[in-house]
């Protein structure tokens, strides 16, 4: 495990920085909204009625496009942008609940993120690593001309990316049916 962390230290540090910047931007973005918009968001949260969050199609479309685009190298920066967007949404959610409901909103948003976003977020980070590897291997095929060795690594990362997409979809399908009951149980935090 330590060898894996040492080997990927620069990558993990970069991902960590992107995530922190995204979360910070999410916090800041909320304060740039007009007061009217902030009130509308707070009213929506206060009228909470067993929401079902469906990220299945979103993840399927975005991750499939990023996987295909990683073969054209453009998918690598777009994957990083997707991670930034996901981080921004986490920061925005935390801030909305914190401002609207105080500490209980912070607890609720933490539960929401833990249940709805954590598994997908970790898988997205793994997916981004695979798309970066695919981009690196494509560049390597053109520069080093070692097609057979690089091609095997390319196929390996492509298959792993597909497995990650399938796992993200599976977890989101399960969460679609289970999470409303969990959030209903903790809805007392929002009153």
**Mean pLDDT, each 10-residue run in order, the chain (191 residues):** 67 90 94 86 67 73 90 88 93 88 86 82 87 83 70 84 89 82 76 70
- Following CA atoms 178, 181, 183, 185 in sequence, which dihedral angle do they give, to the nearest 10 degrees? -140
Give residue 51's pLDDT: 58
- For the chain, the 3-state helix, strand and coil shares in percent, each to the nearest 5, are 90, 0, 10
Residue 157 has a pLDDT of 85
A 10 A CB-CB count for 61 gives: 10
Q: What pLDDT shows up at residue 147? A: 64
Q: What is the structure's pLDDT at 140?
A: 76
Q: Is the dihedral of CA 62, 67, 68, 71 positive or negative?
A: positive
pLDDT for position 75: 87
Q: CB–CB of 115/182 below 8 Å?
A: yes
pLDDT for the residue 20: 95
* Cβ neighbours around 1 below 10 Å, total: 5
| Cα–Cα dist 156/173, whole Å | 26
For residues 70 and 135, is the Cβ–Cβ distance under 8 A? yes
């Amino acid at each position: 495990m330590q060898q894996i962390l040492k080997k990927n230290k620069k990558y993990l540090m970069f991902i960590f920085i992107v995530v922190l910047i995204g979360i910070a931007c999410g916090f800041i973005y909320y304060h740039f909204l007009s007061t009217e918009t902030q009130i509308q968001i707070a009213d929506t949260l206060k009228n909470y009625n067993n929401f079902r969050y469906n990220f299945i199609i979103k993840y399927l479309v975005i991750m499939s496009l990023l996987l295909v685009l990683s073969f054209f190298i453009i998918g690598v920066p777009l994957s990083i942008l997707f991670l930034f967007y996901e981080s921004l949404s986490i920061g925005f959610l935390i801030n909305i609940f914190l401002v609207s409901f105080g500490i209980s909103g912070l607890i609720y948003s933490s539960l929401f993120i833990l249940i709805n976003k954590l598994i997908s977020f970790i898988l997205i980070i793994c997916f981004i690593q695979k798309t970066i590897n695919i981009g690196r291997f494509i560049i390597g095929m053109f520069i080093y001309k070692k097609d057979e060795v690089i091609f095997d690594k390319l196929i390996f990362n492509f298959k792993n990316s597909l497995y990650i997409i399938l796992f993200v979809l599976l977890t989101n399908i399960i969460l679609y049916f289970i999470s409303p009951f969990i959030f209903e149980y903790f809805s007392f935090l929002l009153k």
